[in-house]
Amino acid sequence: MSRSDERLLRSRPGRGTAGAGGEAVADAGQDLRVAAKAESLVVNLAGLVQGIVLVTFPAASTIFTSKSGYGLSSTQYGNMFLPQVVTAIAASLLGAEIARRIGAKGVYLLGLAADLTSMGLLLVSVLVKSDHAAAYPLLLTATAFLGVGFGLTVPVLNTFTTVFHPKSVDSSVLVLNALLGLGTVLAPVFVAIFDGLGFWWGLPVLSSVLLVGLLTVSVQLPLRAASAAPAHRGRREIPRRFWLYAAFITCYGICETVNGNWSQLEMTTRLAASSAQASLALAAFWGMVTVGRVLFAAIGRWLSPRATYRLLPLVLVAAFLLIGQLTRGETVPGVVLFGLAGLGCSALLPLTISFGEEELTTASAGVAGGVIAFYQLGYGIAAFGVGPLQDAGISLSAIFGGTAIVAAVLSVLSFILLAGHRHRSRHA
């Protein structure tokens, strides 16, 4: 029970200091504990749903670029994510200020509503997919709302789980992001299933249903634990160390998105894989992102988060170099290597958030939002930067191989960050 809730209980009138009054306090305390469990469960479920929604567009990449679908070029497909990047960065940076006006719960609900709007616009675009002049603006607007939803929701979810589990911050943040990762795994699986049934747009329908259910439940919860988080009103200037975290997470965003947004096109256009095999490769990537987050949370006693933080960028370097060497027909090695890339990505984002919130105490309230903003910057560079590179004659294999350089920079930054990180006992 949080201190704020304890103070709330002590302030409530009772019928005495013992007997019925004591029982009332005990019952109220039990209610608070039940509420805290329900809130924690809903936060984790929100992470799962956010993951599904986030990857809805990349999971349907082959549909957006096929002639029988929307008929977008590689550049048009990449540019489709530009509004998402801009709005996600803006929303994540403004989230803390918005929370001061409407509270963390309000920011969270607003983010879910933006996600729901995005899915609705995507469904409308299905009706006019053959009319490029009508469909493409709808897709751009849909990704813009998705960016708002992601930028508002994810930082708040990470803040909630930190407050709910103050004694196990690293593991709880890893678990939340593992569930988010599980959602990203399910999205391409659902697309493959629905596409096989003849209506790929079943995924945005499913996402909409999940979001409506989540909103309905969340509105009824107090999410009072958020009030227990310390409102740090120290210096407002950005600590210099934050820019190291920003550089790290930007490089991470590039590495993750090259895999997450372009793996299916790499599989189908260069390795001659079927749509089902391409979906499997994307599912393998996000699946290993999820498995890795759960794994590294579970083995934290034997392999410290600091060691994990140094190790995973090296895994990414190897994965990108090997993917760049794949040749036509090597679909099975492709699936395996995209899974390896997912493992390399797995724990880096949640550990960056938890390390940053612990170290940058003078700006802890905005660390999660800042990290998500620069993650989206990296996402944007990879999402709409690969298309023009392809149009310039650079092959996807060269792009994947070249991204190993970004992963190498990520590795160097991991050592620099931890060398100056003031870690506490839980990172020992």
The dihedral over CA atoms of 122, 124, 127, 130, expressed in degrees to the nearest 10, equals -50
With respect to residue 352, please indicate whether it lies within any of the assigned structural domains.
yes
Residue 176 belongs to domain spanning: 36-220+228-427
With respect to residue 18, please indicate whether it lies within any of the assigned structural domains.
no
Q: What sign for the dihedral angle of Cα 23, 28, 34, 36?
A: negative
Q: What angle do CA 59, 206, 118 make, to 5 degrees?
A: 70
Helical packing angle, 275-298 and 240-265, nearest 10°: 150
With respect to residue 24, please indicate whether it lies within any of the assigned structural domains.
no
User: Which residue type is seen at 402?
Assistant: G
Contact yes or no for 387/78 (Cβ under 8 A)? yes
With respect to residue 8, please indicate whether it lies within any of the assigned structural domains.
no
From first to last of the 428 residues of the chain, give the pLDDT tens digit. 444 444 333 433 444 444 444 444 444 444 445 556 778 888 889 999 999 998 888 888 888 988 888 988 878 888 888 899 899 989 988 887 888 888 888 999 999 999 999 999 999 999 998 888 899 999 999 999 999 999 999 888 888 887 777 666 667 777 887 888 788 878 888 888 888 888 889 999 999 999 999 999 999 887 754 443 444 444 456 678 888 999 999 999 999 999 988 888 889 888 888 888 888 898 899 889 888 888 887 887 788 889 999 999 999 999 999 999 998 989 999 999 999 999 999 999 888 888 887 776 655 556 777 888 898 889 888 987 888 888 888 888 899 999 999 999 999 999 999 887 654 434 33
With respect to residue 11, please indicate whether it lies within any of the assigned structural domains.
no
With respect to residue 16, please indicate whether it lies within any of the assigned structural domains.
no
Contact yes or no for 47/180 (Cβ under 8 A)? yes
With respect to residue 92, please indicate whether it lies within any of the assigned structural domains.
yes
With respect to residue 336, please indicate whether it lies within any of the assigned structural domains.
yes
Alpha carbon 81 to its chain centroid, in Å, reads: 15
CATH number at residue 285: 1.20.1250.20
Distances (CA, A) of 119 to 104, 207, 261, 332, 344: 23, 7, 18, 32, 30
Contact yes or no for 339/263 (Cβ under 8 A)? no
Contact yes or no for 316/151 (Cβ under 8 A)? no
Count of domains for the chain: 1
Contact yes or no for 50/115 (Cβ under 8 A)? yes
